[in-house]
Amino acid sequence: MKATPRQQLLLLDLQQLDHTLARLRKRNEQLPERAELTALEAERDEVRNRYMEAQRELDARRLELSRIEADVAVVEQREQRDHELLAASTSAKEAQALQGELDTLGRRKGELEERQLEAMEVAEAAEAVFAEAEQVLAGVDERRDAINARIAAAEAETERDRAAADTERAGKAAEVQGDLLALYEKTRAQVGIGAARLRAGVSEASGMALSPADLSTIKAAADDEVVFCPETGAILVRVIEA
């Protein structure tokens, strides 16, 4: 393929822009905040598990307390009923029976109230544990939000840089003749590098000095002849040092 030296030099600008675009994609993927977020998510799972356990424990203690309170309420209702019946009773036998039941209810109420007090203390302790777990989880979530905000800001900056590089690349590609551009794109897709310098006998595509035979063949080619790196297959752009 024939292409003027100027056209071939444009490929180096195009390759540099493609390198920049690849670096920007890699920069987005390798943001240090992503690793930080991954580590924090593992920590959050552990913290959330403790939070859920504390919540289940608190729910169980509250349920137990509510059951005792319900039992106390039942006893109090029966006490009130028996007091009313006792006040209205005209039978000594009935009054004796009601008084016996009231004594039993009193003992039962005392036991329940003692259990109620213990259950309240246990529930208060569970509430303290839950409140602490909730606070720790909220702190982790705040840190996660902050990291996500930093990731979003970094991605926005990268997107601005990418858009600028895309625009510059489109303008540079428009200057390259069609068949040369197609060859560059095909080569880049196949070998990862579209074009590289040949400087002082060294191919920047492979980083190696060309053999005397390969170098002689390239030197013999006309300036407008497109040549390739014998090691990588990338287009070699001959650069004459000042």
Tens of pLDDT, residues 177-215: 999 999 999 999 999 999 999 998 999 999 999 999 999
In angstroms, rounded to a whole number, what is the distance separating the alpha carbons of residues 14 and 176? 9
Q: Are residues 182 and 130 in the same domain?
A: no
Identify whether 185 is part of a domain: yes
Q: Is the CB of residue 106 less than 8 Å from the CB of residue 79?
A: yes
Helix axes of 5-29 and 92-175: crossing angle, nearest 10 degrees: 170
Identify whether 189 is part of a domain: yes
Q: Are residues 75 and 147 in the same domain?
A: yes
Please determine, for residue 242, whether its predicted confidence score (pLDDT) is greater than 70.
no
pLDDT of residue 85: 87
In angstroms, rounded to a whole number, what is the distance separating the alpha carbons of residues 206 and 109? 91
In angstroms, rounded to a whole number, what is the distance separating the alpha carbons of residues 207 and 193? 12
Per the structure block, which two tokens stand in for 126?
A: 């569970």
Stretch among 37-46, 87-96, 141-150, 171-180 having the lowest mean pLDDT: 87-96
Identify whether 168 is part of a domain: no
Q: Are residues 36 and 100 in the same domain?
A: yes
Please determine, for residue 225, whether its predicted confidence score (pLDDT) is greater than 50.
yes
Q: Are residues 121 and 218 in the same domain?
A: no
Identify whether 101 is part of a domain: yes
Per the structure block, which two tokens stand in for 229?
A: 């790196």
Q: Are residues 126 and 214 in the same domain?
A: no
Number of H helices, E strands in the chain: 5, 5
Backbone angles phi, psi at 241, to 5 degrees: -70, 145
**pLDDT band at 5; cut points 50, 70, 90:** very high
Mean pLDDT across the stretch 53-71?
96
Q: What sign results for the dihedral spanned by CA atoms 12, 13, 16, 17?
A: negative
Q: Which element (helix H / strand E) includes 69?
A: helix 32-88
For strands 235-238 and 227-228, give the pairing.
Answer: antiparallel
- Percent of the chain past pLDDT 90, that is, above it, reads 88
Q: Are residues 15 and 66 in the same domain?
A: no
Q: Domain span at residue 81?
A: 31-163
Q: Are residues 55 and 83 in the same domain?
A: yes
Please determine, for residue 9, whether its predicted confidence score (pLDDT) is greater than 70.
yes
Number of domains the chain is built from: 2
Q: Are residues 116 and 197 in the same domain?
A: no
Mean pLDDT of the chain: 94
Q: Are residues 128 and 233 in the same domain?
A: no
Q: Are residues 184 and 98 in the same domain?
A: no
Q: Kindly report each contact of residues 166-171 with a partner whose C-beta sits within 8 Å and lies 24 or more positions away, as own/partner.
A: 166/21, 168/17, 169/14, 169/17, 169/18, 169/21
Mean pLDDT across the stretch 63-83?
94
Please determine, for residue 241, whether its predicted confidence score (pLDDT) is greater than 70.
no
Identify whether 74 is part of a domain: yes
Q: Are residues 14 and 65 in the same domain?
A: no
